Amino acid sequence: LLILGIESSCDETGVALVRLPEGGAVPQLLSHALHSQIEMHQAYGGVVPELASRDHIRRVLPLTEAVLAESGKQLADIDVVAFTRGPGLAGALLVGAGVACALGAALDKPVLGIHHLEGHLLSPFLSADPPEFPFVALLVSGGHTQLMRVDGVGAYEILGETIDDAAGEAFDKSAKLMGLGYPGGPALSRRAQDGDPKAFKLPRPLLHSGDLDFSFAGLKTAVLTQAKKLGDELPARTADLAASTEAAIVDVLVRKTMTALKQTGMKRVVVAGGVGANRLLREQLNQACAQMKVRVHYPELHLCTDNGAMIAMAAAMRIQSGREQPARHYAFDVKPRWLLDSLA
């Protein structure tokens, strides 16, 4: 089966082609193309939903043509059209859903709506060293921070999650306070390389709460307080503050992940979502996992943030597992709010 995947939940338009071989073989990424709207939104310091929708409209067909050309395929070769059905920005989701269902109807091929977070969660299966079920998953993105027990495709149990901001949000908001632009995660991480992670004492919220929940709102407030205290000195100390912030976020993520591994007795952990690209997180998690003899898997760096490949891959794995039978049903809807553990 040839699966076209379309991602448009936020500020990235992503399109990809994945081939699902007959039998049990691993789905294979043939090509993928991405357009990031980051530059367009930068002037506003965050994503402007209406501008995002309009740009998805402009990008989605040229990107589709690009992935077809790159893999030497034609529209008529597509067997299933998969799209992100939620969660995300309603207007942005509607563009991908509308295009996917129109394509499906025109080609007389089935369509399949995919959960964006399931895409992130399964994205490490696109890497050269794919995981095996079961595993603990640390999903750390711009909108979500969750620890999960994953027993197979569609078998997701939330062990803990953030009660306020997501880890990516903590990076982004702290970076904004330091004047590092949007989205701040990568910029803050880069600046942190020249700083001292012990320069400022920042809180590790909920570290000893005994459960697997997270909280990052208080950390952001502590960073704000520190930035105000520094005043005119802030530019000279930004690297130190960035390093201290990154260390605090990563420290909590790593320690809670290790607790989840101990509690479940699992010997495998999978990291997914944009923050999974963070260098310090990977370093510290690798170290902690080596000590506990736990295997750790990541998505490839360029597939940590939103992309079409993860949507096509999730569709392929859902079809392969027998959980999904794509249908010629073109009356689409989207789910701006949609819980991952409500999937089967």
Q: How do beta strands 155-161 and 268-272 pair?
A: unpaired
Closest-CB residue for ligand ATP? 274
Position 213 contacts Mg ion (CB under 5 A): no
**Least Å distance between CB 53 and Mg ion?**
14
Contact 182, 234 (CB under 8 A): no
**Interface pick for ligand ATP out of 27, 98, 184, 205 (rule CB under 6 A):** 184
* Binding residue count for Fe ion, defined by CB under 5 A: 2
**Least Å distance between CB 59 and Mg ion?**
14
Position 11 contacts Mg ion (CB under 5 A): yes
**Interface pick for ligand ATP out of 96, 131, 186, 195 (rule CB under 6 A):** 186
Position 141 contacts Fe ion (CB under 5 A): yes
**Interface pick for ligand ATP out of 35, 85, 116, 173 (rule CB under 6 A):** 116
Position 180 contacts ligand ATP (CB under 6 A): no
Phi-psi region of 73 (alpha: psi -120 to 50; beta: other; left: phi over 0): beta
Residue 310 Cα distances to 116, 200, 264, angstroms: 8, 38, 26
**b/e map of 281-298 (b: 16 or more CB within 10 Å)?**
bbebbeebbeeeebebbb
DSSP-derived secondary structure letter, 3: E
**Least Å distance between CB 85 and ligand ATP?**
13
Q: How many CB atoms lie within 10 A of CB 27?
A: 22
Binding segment toward Fe ion, per CB under 5 A, in 61-69, 217-225, 231-239, 298-306: 298-306
State the virtual CA torsion across 137, 264, 213, 285 in degrees, nearest 10.
-50
304: closest CA among 271, 273, 281?
A: 273
Q: In whole angstroms, give the CA distance from residue 62 to residue 82.
A: 17
**Interface pick for ligand ATP out of 98, 113, 124, 142 (rule CB under 6 A):** 142
**Least Å distance between CB 134 and Fe ion?**
23
Extract the annotated binding site for Fe cation. Answer: 116, 120, 306
**Residue list, annotated binding site:** 116, 120, 139-143, 172, 185, 278, 306
Residues making contact with ligand ATP (CB under 6 A): 10, 88, 116, 120, 141-144, 168, 171-172, 183-186, 189, 273-275, 277-278, 305-306
